[in-house]
Amino acid sequence: MTIAPFFQLKFPVFRSSPSKLSSLTEKKEKNMARRKLLLLLKPFDVYHVTQSKPVSHFTNPRVFHYLDNRRKVHKEAINFCQQILQKKAVDWKPILRNNLSQPIHNVDLVVTVGGDGTLLQASHFMDDSIPVLGVNSDPTQAEEVLDSFLEGQTVPSKLSRMSISVNSKSLSTYALNDILIAHPCPATVSRFSLRIERDDQTCLSLVNCRSSGLRVSTAAGSTAAMLSAGGFAMPMLSRDLQYMVREPISPGAAISSLMHGLIKSDQSMNVTWFSKEGLIYVDGSHVFYTIQNGDSIEISSKAPVLQVVFPHLSS
């Protein structure tokens, strides 16, 4: 099955034949101002597998079947979205997420096809002016949600993001889910101190930590790794951040309660790194920044929000 038309570089214009449109559809199309959409795709062949002979006895055939099925499901989702856009009075162009390297501008909506990872990658190239609609491998609601947005019936939700600076220099990436600050070697102890401030006034006194790292999440990311590590789910539209010191070494009763808590929207966390080397992972393992002994890291929710189109959530 070919999807070559899906990857042309210019905005293709698709118009439905008037003879095939019901009167209701004609009215809806007339009411929709022509919009520009960017379709961000996870490559459909990312799960492509071939089984050569002889096959190693360590290879489980069910793994091949699972990966190939994932590939087919993703191709079907891409084709489904293509069919939807062909019926709409919109201009759109596709781009593979691997080819995204510049900030996204001059579009009215970004549609991501490929799950949470694709939406997270898109968010790293977006400011707070463009909404994003995520479509996973079950895109049955996509057309309904898209129509609702184009007709102005759905208001995008504003999700909080995280701002990170190292030695007073802001990182170029805002975190939508979470960050992890840790030594590059997972078997090595991470040494750092942390404190929480509001307008240069201390809200949480200095805490010295030896652990396997520090995780900080947004509300959107609180149901991911943070929840798995023993944190709690936060209201989706909260502007607060949640932090957790990972596997602290003998924190003692006096400070054990300080290993996990909230950074309020008007507060910031300041971390001083004392290990020889370290990494700041942003929204997973693909985006990271190096740090070294003595570096100062500031973390807060004072970042541009991300507008996300949800079926049943708005702000």
Q: Which amino acids are annotated catalytic?
A: 116
3-state helix, strand, coil in the chain (%, to 5): 25, 30, 40
Q: What is the 3-state secondary structure (H, E, C) of 151-214?
A: CCCCCCEEECCEEEEECCEECCCCECCEEEEECCCCCCCEEEEEEEEECCEEEEEEEEEEECEE
Q: What is the C-alpha separation between 178 and 216, in angstroms, rounded?
A: 6
Dist. CA 87–CA 164, nearest whole Å:
42
Q: How far is CA 107 from the centre of its chain?
A: 19
Retrieve residue 227's tokens.
Answer: 């929840």
Q: What is the C-alpha to C-alpha distance for residues 229 and 221, in angstroms, rounded to an integer?
A: 12
Element (H, E) at 70: helix 61-86
